[in-house]
Amino acid sequence: MKAIQFHEAGGPEVLQYDEVPVPEIGPGEVLVRVHAAGINPPDWYLREGMKVMPAEMRPALKFPLIPGTDMSGVVQAVAPDVLGFAVGDEVFGMLRFPGFDGRTYAEYVAAPASDLAHKPAGTDHVQAAGAPMAVLTAWQYLVDLGHNVPSPFTGLVHQPVPITPGMTVLVNGAAGGVGHFAVQLAKWKGAHVIAVASSRHEQFLRKLGADEFIDYTTTQAADVVSGVDLVIDTVGGPDSSRFLTVLKRGGTMLPVFFAQYDPEETARLGITVSNIQVRSNGPQLAEIGRLFDEGKLQVGVDSTYPLPEAVSAHTRAAQGHIQGKIVLTVAS
């Protein structure tokens, strides 16, 4: 079969379109013919050699590596101990995350059945492949964590924030993968949603349910917003603390990417800061899939690239300002 792999860490140019063996399935696994594979930040973090992590925490990588965690496809074979899936089923999932062995940038993948759900009938493979990591991140922040593993960033177990009708939720980086799902889930729960992104994403976000829109290139949210119950900051970084002042006392800050906060400042403001590391969860995806079928969630697709053009897809990702997700098409 064909797959994308890399033999050394580096930029997009290290990705190669190679011939590799079709994987064998083990207990608890199914073989999936991949129709589409979603691209996520951990894919390029891995390709770069995990430079985003402190040197002492970086894992030892064994090359060559096939990147990717998200995929949608059709079951080709099922291990004898697997229940609930059969040959011919259309499935989607985020495989073996956290970890580096998803291997979804390929024509076939051996997938743990526990990481899979049946693909929503009204969602095509490209859309389904774009969903798992981003939508599970938003879901585990806001609806159901689904595990009791402490965050590696804080050492604490996250408690999802119960969103109730009338709450105000601000989503920074609202047009991206996690952001556009957070907007929709908050709206589904009855919140008043404020979306922060650049102006070209305004109509996209309003169609997804955003009640207010702030163009961060012209307006600072802290200058025009206050009394917010919950901030979901998908951008993070050293400037994330600027959103603390928009929160009311007792409010919550959820940084998706690593960001540092002064505990004395958050205590003074009465603000809780919490985060997670998303984990694979097939049953949660099955529940989320029902929302897709009911038309309550949709996947924004920024762009698609054929599998052999993974270099171009990663180059596009590096340019940023993505609207929804970038997806590799594998089988027609």
pLDDT in tens, 13-30: 999 999 999 999 999 999
Other beta carbons within 10 angstroms of residue 19's beta carbon come to 7
Per-residue pLDDT band at 183 (split at 50, 70, 90): very high
Q: For position 4, what pLDDT does the model report?
A: 98
Per-residue pLDDT band at 53 (split at 50, 70, 90): confident
Alpha helices in the chain (DSSP H): 41-47, 125-130, 132-142, 177-188, 202-207, 221-224, 263-269, 282-293, 310-319
Is the predicted pLDDT of residue 169 greater than 80, yes or no? yes
pLDDT in tens, 69-112: 999 999 999 999 999 999 999 999 999 999 999 999 999 999 99
Is the predicted pLDDT of residue 149 greater than 90, yes or no? yes
Q: For position 48, what pLDDT does the model report?
A: 95
Q: Are 330 and 37 in contact (CB under 8 A)?
A: yes
Q: For position 55, what pLDDT does the model report?
A: 78
- End-to-end CA, the chain: 15
Q: Are 131 and 70 in contact (CB under 8 A)?
A: yes
> What is the rounded average pLDDT for all residues in the chain?
95
Q: For position 186, what pLDDT does the model report?
A: 98
Is the predicted pLDDT of residue 308 greater than 90, yes or no? yes
Q: For position 283, what pLDDT does the model report?
A: 98
Burial environment of residue 39 by CB neighbours within 10 A (0 to 12, 13 to 18, 19 or more): buried
pLDDT in tens, 184-236: 999 999 999 999 999 999 999 999 999 999 999 999 999 999 999 999 999 87
Q: For position 88, what pLDDT does the model report?
A: 98
304's tokens: 């698609």
Q: What is the CATH number of domain 2-132+280-329?
A: 3.90.180.10
Domains of the chain, by residue range, sit at 2-132+280-329, 161-273
Is the predicted pLDDT of residue 258 greater than 80, yes or no? no
Query: Domain 161-273: which topology?
Result: Rossmann fold (3.40.50)
Q: For position 59, what pLDDT does the model report?
A: 83
Single pTM value for the model? 0.96
CA 300, 124, 114 angle in degrees (round to 5)? 95
Q: For position 237, what pLDDT does the model report?
A: 73
Task: HSE, CB side, 13 Å, CA atoms: give it for residue 120.
Answer: 25
Lowest mean pLDDT segment, chosen from 60-69, 114-123, 151-160: 151-160
Give me the mean pLDDT over the 314-327 stretch. Answer: 96
pLDDT in tens, 260-290: 788 888 899 999 999 899 999 999 999 999 9
